[in-house]
Amino acid sequence: MKQVIFKGSACAIITPFEKSGRIDYKTLKKNIDFQISNSTDAIVVCGTTGESSVLSDREHRQMIKSVIKYVEGRVPVIAGVGSNCTQKVLRRSEAAEECGADGLLIVTPYYNKTSQEGLIEHYLCIARHVSTPIITYNVPTRTGVDIKPETYKELSKVSKIVATKEANGNLSALMKTMELCGDNLNIYCGNDDHSAAFVAMGAIGTISVLANLMPQQAHDIAVTGINGDIDLSAALQKKYLEMCNVLFCDVNPVPIKYAMSLVGLCRDVYRLPLVELNDKNKSKVISAMKHLDII
C-alpha cells in the first residue's frame, strides 16, 4: 500500500485577507488553531479554496512556509503547488519541499489542457524531481481535463504518486479507478457532498471546504465511515448536506468566506476577479447556517 499522508478530513484552508487586500496572517493562525482543536486531520494550504491563483510567487511560498511553521507538526501540511506549466509546478514543489511540506497537491494543467499521455508525462516529470509524496487533483469542472481510470493506473505505478483528490463527481469512474489501482493509489474525496459515499467505497478521507466552518463535522462524516459505521457517516452527510451544497451557490471560496465572516473567522474580502456574494446567495448561506444553529 502507498504511503498514507492522512486519513479523515483535511481542511482546504482559506487565505484570509485584510481590508487592504494583504494576507492576514494573524487570522490565518487563528483559523489553524480552530482547525486543530476541532479534529481536522490535515491542512491543505494554497489550494483552490486558498485562492492560490491570485497569490504572487512570494506570497505563495510565504503562505506555505507560515502554515508549516505555525502548525509545527501537529497535523500534516499539504501544499497546493499546481499550475498549467510543468516547470512552474517544479519550482513550487521544490520550494514547498524546502519549507517542509508533508505532501504536494498538484491539480491537472488547466486552460492549455493536455492529452492523457500529457498528463502522465506532466506528473512523471514532477515525480522524478521531488522526494515529497504527491497527491494528484482531478477537478474537470475547473480545468477542462479529466484523469481517466486507465491514466490513474499508470500514475499509480509511480512510487511518489501516493493519492488523488478526486472531484469529477463520477462514482462509476471512481470504482473503475479503484479496481485498476488497488492499494497503489489512495483516494481522497474532493466534494464535501460525496464524502460519505467515497469512504463507503474505500476512500481514506476528504479534502474539505466545509471544514473551514465545521471542522469537527467534516472529520466525523469521513472518520465514522472509514471506521466502518457507514450508516452513521451517511446520516451525518444527510444532516449537513444543505450546508455542503450552499457553499457552492457561487464560486468557491466566496460562499465559505462569507459564512466564516458571519462567525468572526475571517473578513468577507477577496481579490479580483472574485467578488462578494449577491443578496440572494447571502440569504441561502444564512438560512443554512441558522438551520444548523451556527448563527
Interval 65-106: pLDDT, tens: 999 999 999 999 999 999 999 999 999 999 999 999 999 999
The radius of gyration of the chain from alpha carbons, rounded to an integer in Å, stands at: 18
Separation of alpha carbons 163 and 248, rounded Å: 25
Cell of 267: 473578513
Instruction: Give helix 86-99 / helix 57-71 axis angle, nearest 10°.
Output: 30
241, 169, 126, 158 alpha-carbon torsion, rounded to 10° = 110
Q: Quick one: how far is CA 105 from the chain centroid?
A: 8
Give residue-wise pLDDT tens across range 119-145. 999 999 999 999 999 999 999 999 999
CATH superfamily of 8-238: Aldolase class I (3.20.20.70)
Q: Is 208 helix (H, G, I), strand (E, B) or coil?
A: strand
Residue 36: the pLDDT is 98
The predicted model gives 151-165 an average pLDDT of: 98
Q: How much is the average pLDDT of 205-234?
A: 98
CA distances from 226 to 20, 159, 223, 231 (A): 42, 24, 5, 11
Q: For the chain, which residues make up each domain, given as ranges?
A: 8-238
Report the alpha-carbon distance of residue 254 to residue 248 in Å, rounded.
8
Q: What is the pTM of this model?
A: 0.97
Closest CA relative to residue 67, chosen from 44, 89, 93? 44
Cα gap 109→96, rounded to integer Å:
19
In angstroms, the CA 274 to CA 284 distance is 19
Name the nearest CA neighbour of 43 among 15, 71, 82: 71
pLDDT tens digits along 264-282 = 999 999 999 999 999 999 9
Cell of 284: 441561502
Would you list the DSSP string of 41-71? -EEEESSTTTTGGGS-HHHHHHHHHHHHHHH
Distance in angstroms (rounded) separating the CA atoms of residues 31 and 275: 22
* Strand 205-208 to 8-12 pairing: parallel
Please give the pLDDT value at position 1. Answer: 79
Q: Which residues contact 261 (CB under 8 A, 6 or more apart)?
A: 267, 268
The DSSP symbol for 23 reads B
**pLDDT at site 171:** 94
User: Rounded to 5 degrees, what angle do the CA atoms 195, 197, 202 make?
Assistant: 95
Report, as residue numbers or ranges, the catalytic residues. 137, 165
Q: Which three cell numbers stand for residue 198?
A: 467515497
* pLDDT tens digits for range 4-63: 999 999 999 999 999 999 999 999 999 999 999 999 999 999 999 999 999 999 999 999
Contact 84, 52 (CB under 8 A): no
Q: Distance between CA 91 and CA 116 in Å, rounded?
A: 23
pLDDT of residue 165: 98
Q: Grid coordinates in use for 172?
A: 462509476
Q: What was the pLDDT predicted at 114?
A: 96
Going by the DSSP 8-state scheme, the letter that residue 253 receives in this structure is T
147, amino acid identity: I
State the number of CA atoms in the 13 A half-sphere of 104 facing the CB.
Answer: 28
